[in-house]
Structure 1
Amino acid sequence: MILEHALLSVIPGKEADFERDFRTASAIISSMRGYIRHTLSRCLEQPSRYLLLVEWETLEDHTEGFRGSADYERWKALLHHYYDPFPTVEHYAQVPLHAKEEDRA
């Protein structure tokens, strides 16, 4: 499992519109091959900042499958105009902390 991490800085004053459009965009990402689940959290200290976490089966499900799909163009049209600056997206793999987890990795 791969965890996508994106810190989203939304243009101040556009938060409600962003959240509305993100609800629509959620249907797009959740229909992608390899998608597991996602969450969107709003920062308490900086209300124009959001944390998007998406779990994918593989890195390629996100970088090639989702980003290479026609549906990604709709995702971009719905959301990308809200960001300033444009977010950096990073991917993480879980570190096994117990012997049983190492056997599954």
Structure 2
Amino acid sequence: MILEIADIRIQPGLQADFDAAIQHGVTEVIAKAKGFNGFKINKGMESPERYVLMIFWETLENHTVDFRQSPGFTEWRAIVGPFFAAPPVVEHFTLLSKSD
């Protein structure tokens, strides 16, 4: 399983609208993508315009190819993109260890 982490910064004062938009975008668009295995969204406390989106994929290619090259990616960006203060920083991770 692959973990995608997107560090998102939005324009100030738009948190309530973005909260709804990001949840809608993930549940209605990304969740339908091939290889999607769940998500978490965290909001910044000290930096209220900062969000960390974590998406679990079966493979790296499910995100980088299957989703990013699909019409769903364009739909996703249309939902959340207008809020961005800068392009999100996106990285992928594999699990090293975890607690039970």
Shared fold by TM > 0.5? yes
Q: Percent identity?
A: 34
- Gap runs ≥5 in structure 1: 98-105
Task: Name the counterpart of 2:44.
Answer: 43
1:33-63 CA-partner distances (Å, limit 9, x unpaired): 1000001110111111011000000000000
Task: Output one character per residue of 1:40-88: Cα deviation in whole Å (capped at 9) or x when no partner.
Answer: 1101111110110000000000000111111111101011121112111
Whichever residue aligns with residue 51 of structure 2, its letter is Y
Structure 2 unmatched runs, 5+ = none
TM-score, normalised relative to structure 1: 0.87
Task: Output the CA distance in 2 between the equivalents of 1:86 and 1:96.
Answer: 30
Higher-Rg member (1/2): 1
CA RMSD in angstroms, aligned pairs only: 1.2
Q: Segments of 4+ in structure 1 off by > 4 A?
A: none
Amino acid aligned to 1:22: I
Q: Normalising by structure 2, what TM-score?
A: 0.91
1:33 aligned counterpart, secondary structure: coil
Letter in 2 for 1:36: N
Deviation (angstroms), 1:96: 4.6
Partner of 2:3: 3
- Secondary structure at the aligned position of 2:5 is classed as strand
2:17 corresponds in structure 1 to 17
Deviation of 1:30 after TM superposition, in Å, equals 0.6
Q: What is the CA–CA distance in structure 1 between the aligned matches of 2:46 and 2:95, rounded to whole Å?
A: 27
